[in-house]
Amino acid sequence: MRTLDKLRGEIMYESEANGQLRSRDTGSLAGSEEFRYDAIANRLDFSISKNIQELAESQGALSIAIERSSSSALVIKAAITALEKQIAAE
């Protein structure tokens, strides 16, 4: 089943044959969930917390990559400045 929310966009739901909700897909990692149930229909886990943890880990890796790129950019900028000074002195 699909729903269209003007604020959040399209959300897709999947159900088991017995009517229990299997998943909710918002198209983003943090908002999507998968559901599991025990034999008497109790919900077992909440995978959204796992998705949020994965998102946080990805954000941390991206921050490290940006920091490394920024450091490299500063080194390159310093090298260019040194070359410009050397050219101007000649």
Per-residue pLDDT of 22-81, as tens digits, reads 888 887 766 778 888 888 888 887 656 566 677 777 888 888 888 888 888 888 999 999
Q: H helices within 1-90, ranges in order? A: 48-89
Backbone CA torsion sign across 33, 39, 42, 44: negative
What is the rounded distance in angstroms from the CA atom of residue 74 to the CA atom of residue 72? 5
Phi, psi of 19 (to 5 degrees): 95, -5
Q: Domain spans of the chain?
A: 1-46, 53-90
pLDDT confidence bin for 20, thresholds 50/70/90: confident
